[in-house]
Structure 1
């Protein structure tokens, strides 16, 4: 029996990323891949762990919750945003993405992957550095602005493997302060990681008094990990 190999990936677009370095969109057969500085970030082959991150966070809300406001850090290929939009507890989704080209791709080649997110009336795509945006959102929340029932951070590859060094600050105590400031009391916060991050799990445990670790099998190697906490309230 002859098994045909997947075609070699073909570069569709190549651009200079806002974060510095090269951002590449490739197509491999029927799938899409995004790379930054030659490092693989994500593709459209699975997305099980990204979907589980969102689903677990929304399911952690009190029974009967409806119209939940969901904040997602990182757009990627759109799996997280689509899962949130399709969940019965969701009212509105805000996605914060650093790279304008990634957002642009969702009006082009990546559009069909997640159901054309830019045209979704319940989905807002914001082009911003998540750490900066959280600081600004915390100020708005303190003045009576929006807070979020669910926050899902799918930024970079997790706390212990960041392609962009500056993203490490998203997993530090100061960032947890901001996250808690923009979350409703008792809200759910989920963090995606490409591997177990014991030190980060301990930080969450100390801060929130409990953390659930959800392992999702990956296509190869270690499972992807979702860390889930509830904010104090």
Structure 2
């Protein structure tokens, strides 16, 4: 541990100022890395269990080897890094809207996921995941046309989105547009900050032959209690 607090990066974005901060959490005596967009906390290295489970639960539903995986949302990198731990993964494409976030990883500012950009299977694509999902040109030049798994962690929940343009994705039409980029039998998995939502599950099952919501619980060291997120998993 070094300084008790430091701002590692601060930049303006179309969605407002984004910052990466490192601080010492006094109750645990560990370094914590946090991302803020404006005055809103987006993510923290204290709470990564569900991000890890997004990759594990999604990949658990895939079969075979030589898997091509797409991750929507880079963030602190825990979903992408966990994906690379699966030896069946042949390629990992990560789509991130903000070049500032990609820059953090290229500069290796986040020690827990510093090996992400060094892995030859990894390709980082700067772009709007939701716009690319609606389009017909794929998720970046040279990436696979279809993926065995698509793992998404961008918005807070299907009805609490970071930008109004994302809302279409969580409709049946939006999910069908994404389905074009899945291999037959491919898997779509989604992180959500809220408990499983029956309304979204109904939309998911309207599009995919099977779908399930997992409640992922984990200790909250700040409250001394337990917190939880959801991971939705659907197979095409």
Per-residue CA shift, 1:160-198, capped at 9, x if unaligned? 222333222321223212211000111011010000232
**1:106 Cα deviation from its structure 2 partner:** 0.7
1:78 aligned partner: 77
Q: Decide which of 5, 8, 13 is 1:12's aligned counterpart.
A: 8
Per-residue CA shift, 1:112-152, capped at 9, x if unaligned? 2213322221000000000122234x4459xxx62100000
Stretches of structure 2 lacking an aligned partner (at least 5 in a row): 25-30
Bigger strand share: 2
Matched position secondary structure for 2:106? coil
Indicate yes or no: 2:230 matched with 1:225.
Answer: yes
Contact 2:130–2:169, Cα closer than 8 Å, also in 1: yes
1:173 aligned partner: 172
* Change over 3 Å in CA distance of 1:139–1:174 after alignment to 2: farther
Contact 1:91–1:122, Cα closer than 8 Å, also in 2: yes
Q: Matched residues in 2 for 1:59 and 1:28: separation?
A: 34
**1:8 Cα deviation from its structure 2 partner:** 6.8
Indicate yes or no: 2:54 matched with 1:56.
Answer: no
Contact 1:58–1:89, Cα closer than 8 Å, also in 2: no
1:4 aligned partner: none
1:3 aligned partner: none
Contact 1:41–1:156, Cα closer than 8 Å, also in 2: no
Could you say what the CA RMSD is over the residues aligned between the two structures, in angstroms?
2.1
TM-score (norm 1): 0.86
Stretches of structure 1 lacking an aligned partner (at least 5 in a row): 1-6
Aligned residue pairs total: 218
Matched position secondary structure for 1:54? helix
Bigger helix share: 1
TM-score (norm 2): 0.85
Which shows bigger deviation, 192-201 or 67-76? 192-201
* Change over 3 Å in CA distance of 1:42–1:86 after alignment to 2: same
2:20 aligned partner: 25
Contact 1:107–1:116, Cα closer than 8 Å, also in 2: no
Q: Matched residues in 2 for 1:175 and 1:9: separation?
A: 41
* Change over 3 Å in CA distance of 1:165–1:11 after alignment to 2: farther
Q: Matched residues in 2 for 1:37 and 1:140: separation?
A: 31
Indicate yes or no: 2:132 matched with 1:133.
Answer: yes
